[in-house]
């Protein structure tokens, strides 16, 4: 396992768990959870600065730990908004990676694939390392790979829903379809969901609410770290085939009479 790195663009990560920084009640709790998760990649959102009541920004806190910042384009409903947000995020000078989201529907937060592809095309040309949040659609995943995205990030289930991997068969087909890393983004509710994604062969898992929304986020962050590691190991180890009938584990000869 010592050489089992996740490579995205020109970056190399030991941890396959990416975590969000939203929904925490305090910055201290957020930092504690990130630390417990072992994550090296941490997502943030871009918003207007409160210029009247200056406070510490999240970056003042994140500076205390060693992590790679992955800005998102959450809240963008058009390709133009997402491109504008990504450019501003890069201007902050911390990362040329972007978790590209173009939302198509407020209730489900499902992506607008058409706009996503359009925005991804522009940002790839501008030198961004683009990680698009997409449906669990193999055709879309292939298109995103073809235009130069550094990874594809299909949703397991709607953002914040905690429903787990709703269509593992599609995730498997995506894994067979693209060569870039496949990172399940959104939907993970508990540790087994994260393990399951990794057992399928995903390169990583990205989550926010699953940890931040737990009763004890720090404990859940640790659970997720172990789950991602366990799932990865199980995938690499190669599971046994599923069979309908039993096969005895103990020898059947030399039984006492």
Partner 1 sequence: MRVKVNGKEYELPENLTVLQMLNFFKINHNFVAVERNKEIVSRKDWENVKVCDGDVFEIVTFVGGG
CB 186 within 8 A of CB 133: yes
Minimal distance, residue 215 CB to partner 1, in Å = 18
The active-site residue, picked from 12, 23, 99, 107, is: 99
Q: What angle do CA 190, 15, 144 make, to 5 degrees?
A: 85
Q: Which residues pair with 103 in a beta bridge?
A: 111
172 binds partner 1 (CB under 8 A): no
Burial class (CB in 10 A: 0-12, 13-18, 19+), 2: exposed
To the query of whether residue 99 is one of the catalytic residues in this protein, the response is: yes
Minimal distance, residue 54 CB to partner 1, in Å = 6
Minimal distance, residue 209 CB to partner 1, in Å = 7
CB 98 within 8 A of CB 90: yes
Stretches 68-76, 222-230, 237-245, 247-255: which one binds partner 1 (CB under 8 A)?
Answer: 68-76
Closest CB to partner 1 among residues 55, 250: 55
29 binds partner 1 (CB under 8 A): no
How many residues bind partner 1, per CB under 8 A? 38
Determine the Cα–Cα distance for residues 230 and 228; give it in Å rounded to an integer. 5
76 binds partner 1 (CB under 8 A): no
CA–CA distances in Å: residue 9 to residues 97, 98, 148, 204: 9, 12, 10, 15
Closest CB to partner 1 among residues 111, 160: 160
Determine the Cα–Cα distance for residues 10 and 128; give it in Å rounded to an integer. 11
74 binds partner 1 (CB under 8 A): yes
CB 161 within 8 A of CB 181: no
Determine the Cα–Cα distance for residues 83 and 88; give it in Å rounded to an integer. 9
Determine the Cα–Cα distance for residues 71 and 97; give it in Å rounded to an integer. 7
Closest CB to partner 1 among residues 6, 83: 83
Pick the binder of partner 1 from 9, 11, 68, 69 (CB under 8 A): 69
22 binds partner 1 (CB under 8 A): yes
Minimal distance, residue 98 CB to partner 1, in Å = 12
Q: How far apart are the first and last CA of the chain?
A: 47
Which residues contact partner 1 by CB under 8 A?
A: 20-24, 30, 43-49, 51-52, 54, 57-60, 69, 71-72, 74, 84, 87-89, 91-93, 159-160, 186, 206-209
Indicate which residues carry an active-site annotation. 99
């Amino acid at each position: 396992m010592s050489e089992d790195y996740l490579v995205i663009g020109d970056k190399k990560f030991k941890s396959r768990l990416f975590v969000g920084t939203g929904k925490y009640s305090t910055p201290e709790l957020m930092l504690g959870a990130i630390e417990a998760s072992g994550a090296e990649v941490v997502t943030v959102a871009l918003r207007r600065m409160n210029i009247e009541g200056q406070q510490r920004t999240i970056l003042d806190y994140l500076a205390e730990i060693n992590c790679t910042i992955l800005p998102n384009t959450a809240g963008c409903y058009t390709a133009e908004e997402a491109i504008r947000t990504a450019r501003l995020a890069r201007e902050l000078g911390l990362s040329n990676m972007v978790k590209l989201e173009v939302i198509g529907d407020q209730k489900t937060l499902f992506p607008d694939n058409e706009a996503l592809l359009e925005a991804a095309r522009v940002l790839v040309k501008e030198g961004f390392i683009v990680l698009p949040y997409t449906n669990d659609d193999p055709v879309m995943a292939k298109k995103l790979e073809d235009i130069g995205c550094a990874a594809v990030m299909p949703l397991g289930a709607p953002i914040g829903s905690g429903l787990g991997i709703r269509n593992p068969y599609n995730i498997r087909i995506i894994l067979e379809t693209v060569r870039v890393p496949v990172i399940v983004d959104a939907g993970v509710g508990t540790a087994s969901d994260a393990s399951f994604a990794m057992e399928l062969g995903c390169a990583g898992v990205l989550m926010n609410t699953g940890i931040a929304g737990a009763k004890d986020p720090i404990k859940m962050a640790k659970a997720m770290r172990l789950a991602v590691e366990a799932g990865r190991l199980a995938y690499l180890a190669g599971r046994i085939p599923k069979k309908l009938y039993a096969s005895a584990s103990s020898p059947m000869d030399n039984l006492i009479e």
